[in-house]
Protein backbone atom coordinates (compact mmCIF):
# COMPACT_ATOMS: atom_id res chain seq x y z
CA UNK A 1 0.00 0.00 0.00
CA UNK A 2 1.21 3.48 -0.86
CA UNK A 3 0.27 7.03 0.07
CA UNK A 4 -0.12 10.05 -2.22
CA UNK A 5 -0.04 13.75 -1.36
CA UNK A 6 -0.30 16.86 -3.49
CA UNK A 7 -1.65 20.39 -3.43
CA UNK A 8 -2.89 22.93 -5.93
CA UNK A 9 -3.89 26.58 -5.80
CA UNK A 10 -7.16 27.39 -7.54
CA UNK A 11 -7.98 31.04 -8.28
CA UNK A 12 -11.73 30.92 -7.70
CA UNK A 13 -14.45 31.51 -5.14
CA UNK A 14 -14.24 28.89 -2.34
CA UNK A 15 -17.93 27.97 -2.81
CA UNK A 16 -17.29 27.21 -6.49
CA UNK A 17 -14.30 25.01 -5.64
CA UNK A 18 -16.31 23.10 -3.02
CA UNK A 19 -19.13 22.59 -5.55
CA UNK A 20 -16.65 21.26 -8.13
CA UNK A 21 -15.72 18.49 -5.68
CA UNK A 22 -19.15 17.76 -4.22
CA UNK A 23 -21.96 18.59 -6.67
CA UNK A 24 -22.78 15.81 -9.13
CA UNK A 25 -23.75 18.27 -11.90
CA UNK A 26 -20.48 20.19 -11.51
CA UNK A 27 -18.48 16.95 -11.43
CA UNK A 28 -20.13 15.87 -14.68
CA UNK A 29 -19.24 19.21 -16.31
CA UNK A 30 -15.52 19.12 -15.50
CA UNK A 31 -15.08 15.35 -15.85
CA UNK A 32 -17.20 14.82 -18.95
CA UNK A 33 -18.70 11.65 -17.50
CA UNK A 34 -21.71 10.69 -15.37
CA UNK A 35 -21.33 11.16 -11.62
CA UNK A 36 -23.28 10.22 -8.54
CA UNK A 37 -22.20 12.27 -5.55
CA UNK A 38 -23.82 13.85 -2.52
CA UNK A 39 -21.59 15.18 0.26
CA UNK A 40 -23.44 13.73 3.24
CA UNK A 41 -21.47 11.23 5.36
CA UNK A 42 -22.47 7.67 4.61
CA UNK A 43 -23.50 8.38 1.00
CA UNK A 44 -21.84 6.25 -1.65
CA UNK A 45 -20.52 7.82 -4.84
CA UNK A 46 -19.54 6.81 -8.35
CA UNK A 47 -17.28 8.88 -10.61
CA UNK A 48 -15.57 8.53 -13.98
CA UNK A 49 -18.15 6.10 -15.39
CA UNK A 50 -17.93 3.94 -12.27
CA UNK A 51 -14.14 3.60 -12.34
CA UNK A 52 -14.03 5.35 -8.95
CA UNK A 53 -16.47 4.27 -6.28
CA UNK A 54 -16.58 4.88 -2.59
CA UNK A 55 -18.31 6.45 0.37
CA UNK A 56 -18.26 9.91 1.93
CA UNK A 57 -16.90 9.66 5.48
CA UNK A 58 -16.86 13.34 6.44
CA UNK A 59 -17.82 16.65 4.84
CA UNK A 60 -17.28 20.14 6.24
CA UNK A 61 -18.13 22.67 3.51
CA UNK A 62 -15.10 24.56 2.23
CA UNK A 63 -12.93 22.94 4.91
CA UNK A 64 -12.64 19.18 4.53
CA UNK A 65 -13.92 16.25 2.50
CA UNK A 66 -13.00 12.71 3.50
CA UNK A 67 -13.79 9.79 1.19
CA UNK A 68 -13.23 6.05 1.37
CA UNK A 69 -12.36 4.66 -2.07
CA UNK A 70 -13.20 1.05 -2.89
CA UNK A 71 -10.65 -1.22 -4.52
CA UNK A 72 -11.63 -4.74 -5.55
CA UNK A 73 -10.14 -7.39 -3.30
CA UNK A 74 -8.74 -4.88 -0.79
CA UNK A 75 -9.96 -5.06 2.79
CA UNK A 76 -8.07 -2.14 4.34
CA UNK A 77 -9.62 1.30 3.92
CA UNK A 78 -8.18 3.56 1.24
CA UNK A 79 -9.01 7.09 2.41
CA UNK A 80 -8.72 10.36 0.50
CA UNK A 81 -8.72 13.54 2.60
CA UNK A 82 -9.18 16.82 0.76
CA UNK A 83 -8.53 19.96 2.77
CA UNK A 84 -9.59 23.40 1.55
CA UNK A 85 -7.74 26.53 2.68
CA UNK A 86 -9.45 29.69 1.40
CA UNK A 87 -7.00 32.51 0.73
CA UNK A 88 -7.38 35.92 -0.84
CA UNK A 89 -8.92 35.33 -4.29
CA UNK A 90 -8.07 31.61 -4.26
CA UNK A 91 -8.26 28.28 -2.46
CA UNK A 92 -5.34 26.02 -1.63
CA UNK A 93 -6.49 22.41 -2.00
CA UNK A 94 -4.44 19.69 -0.34
CA UNK A 95 -5.07 16.03 -1.13
CA UNK A 96 -3.81 13.14 0.97
CA UNK A 97 -4.79 9.66 -0.19
CA UNK A 98 -3.60 6.77 1.99
CA UNK A 99 -3.57 3.00 1.54
CA UNK A 100 -3.62 2.95 -2.24
CA UNK A 101 -2.94 -0.60 -3.50
CA UNK A 102 0.53 -0.83 -5.05
CA UNK A 103 -0.82 -1.99 -8.41
CA UNK A 104 -3.23 1.00 -8.59
CA UNK A 105 -0.85 3.70 -7.33
CA UNK A 106 0.42 4.98 -10.70
CA UNK A 107 -3.10 5.29 -12.13
CA UNK A 108 -4.49 6.91 -8.97
CA UNK A 109 -1.68 9.44 -8.54
CA UNK A 110 -1.82 10.34 -12.25
CA UNK A 111 -5.60 10.59 -12.02
CA UNK A 112 -5.51 12.94 -9.04
CA UNK A 113 -3.11 15.28 -10.82
CA UNK A 114 -4.55 15.16 -14.34
CA UNK A 115 -8.17 14.02 -14.21
CA UNK A 116 -9.23 15.65 -10.95
CA UNK A 117 -7.18 18.62 -9.84
CA UNK A 118 -6.10 20.02 -13.21
CA UNK A 119 -9.64 19.68 -14.58
CA UNK A 120 -11.20 21.26 -11.49
CA UNK A 121 -8.69 24.13 -11.63
CA UNK A 122 -9.51 24.81 -15.29
CA UNK A 123 -13.25 24.50 -14.65
CA UNK A 124 -13.23 26.84 -11.63
CA UNK A 125 -10.87 29.46 -13.07
CA UNK A 126 -12.82 30.02 -16.30
CA UNK A 127 -14.20 33.52 -16.14
CA UNK A 128 -12.86 34.22 -12.66
Per-domain boundaries in the chain? 2-125
Q: At how many degrees (to 10) do helices 118-125 and 24-31 cross?
A: 100
User: What superfamily in CATH does domain 2-125 come from?
Assistant: START domain (3.30.530.20)
Q: Mean per-residue pLDDT for 41-49? A: 95
Q: What angle do CA 77, 83, 88 make, to 5 degrees?
A: 170
Is the pLDDT score of 9 beyond 70? Answer: yes
Q: Say what percent of the chain tops pLDDT 90.
A: 90
Residue 128's pLDDT band (boundaries 50, 70, 90)? low
Torsion-angle region of 62 (φ positive above 0: left; ψ -120 to 50: alpha; else: beta): left
pLDDT one-digit tens code per residue, 46-63: 999 889 999 999 999 999
| β-bridge pairing 64-69 and 78-87 | antiparallel
- 47, 35 contact by CB (below 8 A): yes
Write down the pLDDT at residue 92. Answer: 98
pTM: 0.93
Is the pLDDT score of 93 beyond 90? Answer: yes
Is the pLDDT score of 19 beyond 90? Answer: yes
Write down the pLDDT at residue 72. Answer: 86
**Lowest-pLDDT choice from 1-10, 34-43, 68-77, 87-96:** 68-77
Write down the pLDDT at residue 17. Answer: 97
Amino acid sequence: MKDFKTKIKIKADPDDVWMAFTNANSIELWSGSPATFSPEPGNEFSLMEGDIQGKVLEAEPIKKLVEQWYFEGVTSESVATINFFPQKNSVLVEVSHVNIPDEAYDNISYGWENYFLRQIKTFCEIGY
